[in-house]
């Protein structure tokens, strides 16, 4: 896809070399308070006026992609697009209120931005029913719905949100052309599937493995404390037995209790060994700072707060992925609604 004629070639310029100001948009000018929209592909900001988007459309943007991302020049997935693994992204818009002079988005499961505008639209229809032509249109609507209950629901979003039921070959041909082959919907569904089946489970599994390792480490700490308690008890016994003498004991690195080990471990796919075995190795090799890949320093500045850091990192990633999952689900729902509307409009045009 090529750039629009009004769009200049892409530039990586982010700061004006003369003024030092941050610059944005295709015009590469600073933000002076004009109406702008953020691109979901490259995270840059663009002026509505530079993109030839009317200002009244500002509340209707659902998912925006700049001309460069839509052309595959920029964006998070540009490499995959160049390799043919993904299609070019497209801007998605919220449905506009049915009133011609209103540019607010529709409420969920409605064709209007508010109850007031819905009433105003209906009042306008009744006012126009004075003409014979409109009476004929309403009569046709009643005949098409076949039942009074269906007529009451005419214009509601139920049939738009529900899966389309294909009745004949003509409808199937239209469905395949508009819905089944839609590249935007396929990209969104593929992204959601990959997120749900691969990416999100991967990070949840990593977090679970970290929790398993931390449980193992807690057991190690417990055994070390038991060992320290035994040493402390022995020290008290030694003090009692040597009281009143001038004997000096040899200095022993385990002559007094110590704090918990650092416990940092570069991988949590499996615990290093049994707790008792690990603690026994600590007792045998007190000078070592690493045992079976686990940092055994008693004071470790290098891995300070590694537990909370790793936990927070995984939880933030999971939270971010779950937010992305919710966003993709909304995008898919919105896209399906758009395609379903196009499908039914095409049926009406063809008189099916």
Q: 245 to each of 150, 160, 182, how far by Cα in Å?
A: 104, 95, 92
Question: Would you call 247 exposed, middle or buried from its count of C-beta atoms within 10 A (0-12, 13-18, 19+)?
Answer: exposed
User: Percentage of the chain with pLDDT > 90?
Assistant: 24
Mean pLDDT of the chain: 80
pLDDT digits (tens, 9 = 90+) for 265-283: 888 778 889 999 888 887 7
Q: 142 falls in which pLDDT band (50, 70, 90)?
A: low
How much is the pLDDT for 334? 84
pLDDT digits (tens, 9 = 90+) for 20-43: 899 999 999 998 889 999 999 899
pLDDT digits (tens, 9 = 90+) for 250-265: 444 444 445 578 888 8
User: Percentage of the chain with pLDDT > 70?
Assistant: 79
pTM recorded for the entire structure: 0.48
pLDDT at 126 over 60: yes
How much is the pLDDT for 132? 58
How much is the pLDDT for 130? 54
Does 1.20.1250.20 match the CATH number of domain 1-94? no
How much is the pLDDT for 249? 44
Domain regions of the chain by residue span: 1-94, 95-156, 165-240+255-352
pLDDT digits (tens, 9 = 90+) for 284-329: 766 778 888 898 888 788 887 888 888 888 888 888 888 888 888 8
For residues 271 and 212, what is the distance between their CA atoms, to the nearest angstrom?
8
How much is the pLDDT for 120? 87
For residues 139 and 219, what is the distance between their CA atoms, to the nearest angstrom?
78
Lowest mean pLDDT among 48-62, 147-161, 189-203, 217-231: 147-161
pLDDT at 153 over 60: no
């Amino acid at each position: 896809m090529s750039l629009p004629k009004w769009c200049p070639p892409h530039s990586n310029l982010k700061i004006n070399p003369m003024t030092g100001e941050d610059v944005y948009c295709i015009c590469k000018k600073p933000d002076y308070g004009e109406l702008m929209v953020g691109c979901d592909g490259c995270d840059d900001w663009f002026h509505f006026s530079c993109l030839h988007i009317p200002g009244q459309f500002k509340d209707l943007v659902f998912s925006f992609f700049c001309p460069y991302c839509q052309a595959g020049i920029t964006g998070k997935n540009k490499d995959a697009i160049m390799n043919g693994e993904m299609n070019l992204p497209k801007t998605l818009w919220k449905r506009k209120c049915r009133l011609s002079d209103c540019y607010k988005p529709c409420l969920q499961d409605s064709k209007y931005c508010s109850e007031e505008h819905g009433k105003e639209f209906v009042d306008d229809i009744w006012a126009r029913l004075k003409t014979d032509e409109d009476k004929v249109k309403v009569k046709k609507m009643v005949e098409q719905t076949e039942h009074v209950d269906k007529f009451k629901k005419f214009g509601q979003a139920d049939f738009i949100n529900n899966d389309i039921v294909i009745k004949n070959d003509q409808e199937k041909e239209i469905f395949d052309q508009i819905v089944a082959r839609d590249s935007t919907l396929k990209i969104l569904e593929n992204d959601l599937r990959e997120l749900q089946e691969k990416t999100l489970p991967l990070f949840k599994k990593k977090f679970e493995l970290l929790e398993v390792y931390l449980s193992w480490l807690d057991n190690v700490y417990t055994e070390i404390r038991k060992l320290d308690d035994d040493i402390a008890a022995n020290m008290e016994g030694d003090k009692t037995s040597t009281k009143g003498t001038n004997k000096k004991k040899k200095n022993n690195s385990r002559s007094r209790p110590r704090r918990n080990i650092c416990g940092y471990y570069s991988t949590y796919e499996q615990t290093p060994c049994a707790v008792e075995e690990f603690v026994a190795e600590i007792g045998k090799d007190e000078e070592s700072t690493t045992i079976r890949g686990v940092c055994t320093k008693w004071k470790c500045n290098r891995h300070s707060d590694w537990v909370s850091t790793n936990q927070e990192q995984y939880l933030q990633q999971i939270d971010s992925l779950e937010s992305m999952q919710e966003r993709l689900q909304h995008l898919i729902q919105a896209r399906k609604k758009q395609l379903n509307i196009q499908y039914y409009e095409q049926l009406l045009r063809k008189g099916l």
